[in-house]
Structure 1
C-alpha cells in the first residue's frame, strides 16, 4: 500500500492525512480523472481482520449510497486494494464541530447547526436508516466562502442500521456507539429507533454550548448511570434561554416516547425558543432561516399526544406545554394515592359486611363464595392487560376509566336487591381496580427518576396499607351505625374527588405504540385466573380436590411458561425482558410476594382470635390493627426515601425483621390472653414492617423498568403482591381450619393453640422474604445492569476510542 503523500492508492493520489481513528485513517486524495479532492477512508489492516468491524465498514458504504441529501457526506466509490477495504467519499473543506470554542460559539449558531443536522437525520430516517452515533466529531462544517454560507454535514454512518432490522445489539452483544452521546435504550439493549438519534443530537447541542457532554466523565459506569437515571443538567450559560433547557431535556427524556416525534421537531422547537429570546439575526449574518417540515415519522414510534411541528420561516412551532413539563409530579402522586386508597377501602371495607349482606339478601351457599371469588378474579386476571392498556393508550386515560368504573359500580351496588346483583357489581369493582392500580405505579415510574422515586412509592404503599388495614374499621363502623349499603355510598365522594384531582394533576403521558403480544396476554390471563381460582377454593374444597389441585398446577405451569417466553422474546413481548432477567427485579417481586403473604397470613388468624375467642365485635377487632395502619402510612414514605440511598438489602431486611418481631409479639399476647390494648404494640411494629418492605421493594422492583413497558412491569409487581396475599391467606386458612377441627369440642385453650399455630406460619413467609431480600445487590439497577455489560470491554468509551 502506498498511502504516503504523493503516493497512489486505488488510483487516487494521496494529498495528506485528514484524520485517524480506531477503525482507520481518512486521507485527502485527488480524483484520478476529475479536478476535485475526495476523502479516502481506509480501514486499518488489523481492524480489517475482524469480521464484525469489517462488516461495519462495508455497511457504511451500503447505507450511505442509498442517501442523497446535501447534509450527508456522500459515498462516491468503494473497493478493496491489496486486501484493504476503502471508501471514496465527498470531501468537505472545513472542520468538525469539536473544534468550535463554546466561549465564542453563539447559541443561535449552535441551534442552526443542529437544525441542519436534524434535517439530514430526518431524511435518513425517512429512508429507513438510523445513524446511531451522532456526536460533534461526526458533524462537519463547510468553510464559509463568498456567496456561500457555512453548512453542517453529517458523516460516519459506520454503525448505522436499517430501522426495520435494528432491534438488538450487534451479533456479539458488544456495545457500539460513543458512550457520552448514546441514548439510554442503546445502553440498556432495548430497541432503538429514530428518537435515539434525536437524543444524541440533543447531547451534541449541549456539548456545543458547554464544551462537554451532558454526562461527561472518565469512568464509563458514571456516564452510563447519568444517561439512564440522572436528570439532564442545565446548560450553564447566561445567554441560553431557560426554555431551551426544557427543550433539550425533552429531547433527552429517558423514555423515547416522551421525546419529540422527530429530530426536526426538536430542532424547530429549539430554534423557536432562540428566535423568541432575541431580536437579532441568527449567526452568521445573512444565514437563511431553517425551512423545515419533518419527514413522515417512521411507523411504530410516534406518540399520539405530541402535536407535529410545522416550523416554517419565522413562525414558531407548536411547543408542548412547558408548564406541564415543569410541574412537580407530587401533585399527580397525591391524586393517584387517593385513588389507591379508594381501591383498598372498597375491597377491604366490604369484608366486615359479609354476614349482614348474606343475611339481608338471603344468600345461598352456592352464591356466598362467588362474592369474594368474583372480585378476586376480576381484579387479578387483568392486571397485566390493564398495564398494557395503559402503555398503549396512556396511563391517565386508563386510570380515569377504571376510577369511573369503580364509582359507577359502587353506586350500582347500593340499591342491590339480590346476591347476584352484588356479585356482579363487586366484580366490576375488582375489574376497575385492576385497570387503575398498574397506572398509578406506571405514572410514578415515568415521572420520577429511578433513584428518587422511593418517597413517592412509599406514599403509594402507605396509602395501600392504610386502606387495607383501616377498611375493615370503616366498614364495621358504617354497618354498626347504618347498613352494609353505606359502605358503597361512602366511597363515592372520595372517588369523585379523586377523579377531579386526577383529571387536573396527572400528566397525559405519551402512549407507547408497540405491537400487541396476544400469546403473552392469553398466557398471563389464564395463568392468573387458574391460580386465583385454585388458591381461593383450596381452603373450602380441600387441596386434594381435582377442582383445586388441577387449576393450581395448570396455573403454575402456564405462569412459568409465560415468564420463560417473556424473558426470551423480543421487544414486542408483553413484558420487558428485564422484569424476568434482572436479578434485583425478580428478587424484589419475590420478596414483595412474601411480604404480602406474611400480612395476609397474620390478619386472618388474628381476626378469628379476637372475634371468636375474645368475643370482640367486628369494629373492635378491626381497631386493633389501626396502629399498624397509621404507622405504615406515616413511615412508608420515609422508608422509601431511605431506600433510595441505602444498600438495597438494608430497608427490606429491617422490614422483615420487624415482621418477625410483630408475629412473635402477637403469638405471645394470644398465649397470655392479653387485653386488646396490648395488641397495639406488635401492631405498630407490623406497621413499620409494612412501611419498610412495601415501599423499598416497590422501588427496587421498578428501578430497572423501561418506560415502554412501565405499565406491564407495574402489573407484574402487583400480580406478585396479589398472588402472595392469596397464598398467605390460603396457607394460614388451611392451617387454622385443620387446627380448629382438631380442637373442636375442646377447651378454649385448644382454640388459642390453633390460632397460635396458624399465626406461626407467617414466619415461613418472613423467612422466605428475608432470604430473597438478602440477595439484592447494589448497582443492579438499570444503570448497574448496563455497567455490568461493559465489564468485559466496550467498543468505544467516552471519547469514542477503542480501549487498548
Structure 2
C-alpha cells in the first residue's frame, strides 16, 4: 500500500483534481529561477573579480557559500515538505530566495555577497526538494518521464538564459542586475504558486526527526566546509591544532552516527528512511548525479574564466558561445524524457557518453589562440548528450519510490547532487590553483628569455608570487603584479604568459572531471530494468497518495 489511512479519512480518489501540467509549470518557474541564478553568477566571475577586488579563492566562496548551505539543508527541507506540505515550503523558499537576491545585488564587498548568497542557499534548499516530490505525487508512473523531460527542458532553458541574459545584463547594466533579475521571476512564481498549487497532504502524520536533523546538518557542514577551505589552508591547520583532514573525518564520523541512528530508529520515522537505498536504481542514480554535478561545475568554472580572460570575450559573447550547447539540450530533454519511460537506462547511457565525448572535444580544442568557433562542434555534441541526461536521471531514481517517501527521496537525491558540486568545485578549484602556480611559473621562465637581462628575474618572480597567493584573473589581467614603470612590451608579454599558462593549467585540470564523468557513464550499466507488476503499486495509485488540506482536516476530526 502507498498510504496508511486514518480512520474516517475521505477516499483519496475524491480529492479535487487539478491539471498536473499546470502545476508543473509553477514548479518549473521556481526551479528555473534557482538555476538561472547559478549560471548567471558563473558568467559574471571576471566582473566580480574586477569590481569587488575579489581573489579567485573569494570567488570560489561566492559560488560555494550558496552550494554549501543548499547541500546541507536539502535533506531536512525535503522532510519538512513531508511534514508541513510541499506547497508551504515551496512558497517560503521562493520568497526567501527573492529577498536574498535583492540583498546580493546591493552587496558592497565579497564578504557581504557571501553572506547574502548563504541566504539564497537557504531559500533554494527549501524550494528544490518540493519540485521532485510534487511531480512524483501528481503524475502516474507512466507519465513521469514526460514530466521530468519538461523539467529537464526547463533546466536547459535556464542554462541558455543564464549565460546569455546574464552576459547582456553584465555588459549593459553591471553584475548587480544578475541578482535583481530574479525579483520579477520570483514574484510571478510566488503568486502562481499561491493560486495554482494544491496543498498536498499524505494520509498519515509525519514528524521531524530532530536528532537526525542535527546530525546530518553538522556532518554535511563539516565535510563541505573542509572540502571548500582545504586549498586555502594548504590542507593543514584551520583552527589551532585542528586540521582540514580532521574536519572532514569528523564530518564522516557524524554522518556514520546518523546512519546508525537511522537504522536503530527505523520504526520511529527517521529523517532518511534507509529503505530508499534498498532500491538499486535509486542508489546508482545518486552516484551518477553526484558525478554529473562534479563534472558540470568542475568543467565550466575554468571554462568561463578562459572564455573571458584568455579569449577576451565579453560576458555576453561568452554566454552566446555556450548557448548552443544549452539550446540543443533544451529541445532534446523532453524527447529524452518520453523515451526514458521505456528505455531510461539506454537513453541515459547514450547521453552520458555523448556529453563526456563533447566536453573532451572542447578541452582538446581550447588553445591560447583559439577562436570561439573552434569550441562549437564539441559544445553541440555535449548539448545533445546533456539533453539525454536530465530526465532519465530523475525518472530512474524516483521510478519505484513510494509517494509518501517522495520528499525524503527528493531531498537525498538533491543533496547528493549538490555534494557532487561541492566536491567538484573544491577539487577542481584546488587543482586549478595548484596547476596555475606550476604552469604560470614555467611559462614565465620560458618567455622571460625574450626580455632584457635586468627584467628577467623580476618578471619570473612576479608570476611565482602570483601562484603562491589568491589569483586575480579578471578580463585583461595577467594575474601578476609587475614593477611600477615596466615597459609596455613587458606588460604585453605578461598577458601572453598568463594566456598560455592558464590554458595549460585549465586543460590539465579538466581531465579530472572528464574521468569522473567517464566512470559515471560506465556505472549506468548497473541500472535495473522495470520491476514486474506483481507487488508494485499501480501507477494510477501515485496521485491518490495525496489529499487536499480539507480532506486531511476531515480525516483527523
TM-score tier, shorter chain, comes to 0.7 to 0.9
Quote the residue 2:270 is aligned against: 573
Instruction: Please report how far the alpha carbon of residue 564 of structure 1 lies from its aligned counterpart in structure 2 after TM superposition.
Output: 5.0
Q: How do residues 305-344 of structure 1 correspond to structure 2 at under 5 angstroms?
A: 322=16, 325=17, 327-344=18-35
Aligned length: 477
Quote the residue 2:324 is aligned against: 627
Using a 3 Å threshold, how does the CA distance of structure 1 residues 513 and 265 change in structure 2: closer, same or farther?
Answer: closer
RMSD, aligned α-carbons: 2.9
Instruction: Please report how far the alpha carbon of residue 507 of structure 1 lies from its aligned counterpart in structure 2 after TM superposition.
Output: 1.8
Say whether the 8 Å CA contact 1:387–1:714 is kept in structure 2: yes
Separation of aligned partners in 1, 2:278 and 2:402: 13
TM-score by length of 1: 0.55
2:216 to 524, 534, 537: 524
Say whether the 8 Å CA contact 2:28–2:154 is kept in structure 1: yes
Using a 3 Å threshold, how does the CA distance of structure 1 residues 368 and 765 change in structure 2: closer, same or farther?
Answer: closer
1:601 to 298, 317, 324: 298
1:688 to 384, 393, 408: 384
Instruction: Please report how far the alpha carbon of residue 440 of structure 1 lies from its aligned counterpart in structure 2 after TM superposition.
Output: 0.7
Say whether the 8 Å CA contact 2:223–2:248 is kept in structure 1: yes
Quote the residue 1:88 is aligned against: none
Quote the residue 1:756 is aligned against: 507
Quote the residue 1:515 is aligned against: 207
Quote the residue 1:729 is aligned against: 425
Q: How do residues 274-423 of structure 1 correspond to structure 2 at under 5 angstroms?
A: 322=16, 325=17, 327-354=18-45, 356-357=47-48, 360=51, 370-417=61-108, 419-423=110-114
SS at match of 1:483: coil
- Greater fraction helix: 2
Could you tell me which runs of 5 or more consecutive residues in structure 2 were left unpaired when the two chains were aligned. 444-496, 539-557
Instruction: Please report how far the alpha carbon of residue 782 of structure 1 lies from its aligned counterpart in structure 2 after TM superposition.
Output: 9.4
Quote the residue 2:250 is aligned against: 554
Q: Deviations over 1:646-668 (max 9, x none)?
A: 1x421121111112211221123
Q: Deviations over 1:381-409 (max 9, x none)?
A: 11111111111111011101111112222
Using a 3 Å threshold, how does the CA distance of structure 1 residues 421 and 608 change in structure 2: closer, same or farther?
Answer: closer
Quote the residue 1:641 is aligned against: 338
Q: How do residues 109-124 of structure 1 correspond to structure 2 at under 5 angstroms?
A: none
Say whether the 8 Å CA contact 2:262–2:272 is kept in structure 1: yes
Q: How do residues 711-726 of structure 1 correspond to structure 2 at under 5 angstroms?
A: 711-726=407-422
Instruction: Please report how far the alpha carbon of residue 694 of structure 1 lies from its aligned counterpart in structure 2 after TM superposition.
Output: 2.3
Say whether the 8 Å CA contact 2:78–2:130 is kept in structure 1: yes
Separation of aligned partners in 1, 2:393 and 2:259: 20
Q: Deviations over 1:12-59 (max 9, x none)?
A: xxxxxxxxxxxxxxxxxxxxxxxxxxxxxxxxxxxxxxxxxxxxxxxx
Quote the residue 1:472 is aligned against: 163
Separation of aligned partners in 2, 1:468 and 1:712: 27
Q: Deviations over 1:52-80 (max 9, x none)?
A: xxxxxxxxxxxxxxxxxxxxxxxxxxxxx
Separation of aligned partners in 2, 1:561 and 1:451: 38
Using a 3 Å threshold, how does the CA distance of structure 1 residues 533 and 391 change in structure 2: closer, same or farther?
Answer: same
Separation of aligned partners in 2, 1:611 and 1:556: 38
Separation of aligned partners in 2, 1:369 and 1:753: 20
Using a 3 Å threshold, how does the CA distance of structure 1 residues 781 and 621 change in structure 2: closer, same or farther?
Answer: farther
Q: Deviations over 1:450-502 (max 9, x none)?
A: 23211211222332344246423322321210122222221111111111222
SS at match of 1:625: helix
- 2:148 corresponds to 1:457: yes
- 2:233 corresponds to 1:541: yes
- 2:354 corresponds to 1:658: yes
Instruction: Please report how far the alpha carbon of residue 516 of structure 1 lies from its aligned counterpart in structure 2 after TM superposition.
Output: 2.1
- 2:527 corresponds to 1:776: yes
Using a 3 Å threshold, how does the CA distance of structure 1 residues 664 and 413 change in structure 2: closer, same or farther?
Answer: closer
Separation of aligned partners in 2, 1:361 and 1:677: 31
Say whether the 8 Å CA contact 1:663–1:759 is kept in structure 2: no
Using a 3 Å threshold, how does the CA distance of structure 1 residues 474 and 536 change in structure 2: closer, same or farther?
Answer: farther
Separation of aligned partners in 2, 1:455 and 1:597: 26
Using a 3 Å threshold, how does the CA distance of structure 1 residues 366 and 686 change in structure 2: closer, same or farther?
Answer: closer
Separation of aligned partners in 1, 2:414 and 2:408: 10
TM-score by length of 2: 0.78
Q: Deviations over 1:485-529 (max 9, x none)?
A: 222221111111111222222221115522321222122211221
Say whether the 8 Å CA contact 2:311–2:368 is kept in structure 1: no
- 2:368 corresponds to 1:669: no
Using a 3 Å threshold, how does the CA distance of structure 1 residues 776 and 783 change in structure 2: closer, same or farther?
Answer: farther
Instruction: Please report how far the alpha carbon of residue 718 of structure 1 lies from its aligned counterpart in structure 2 after TM superposition.
Output: 0.4
Using a 3 Å threshold, how does the CA distance of structure 1 residues 782 and 362 change in structure 2: closer, same or farther?
Answer: farther
Say whether the 8 Å CA contact 1:451–1:703 is kept in structure 2: no
Say whether the 8 Å CA contact 2:368–2:500 is kept in structure 1: no
Q: Deviations over 1:693-728 (max 9, x none)?
A: 221111111122222221121011101111112222
Quote the residue 2:554 is aligned against: none
| Greater relative CO (CA pairs within 8 A, separation 6+) | 2
Separation of aligned partners in 2, 1:467 and 1:554: 37
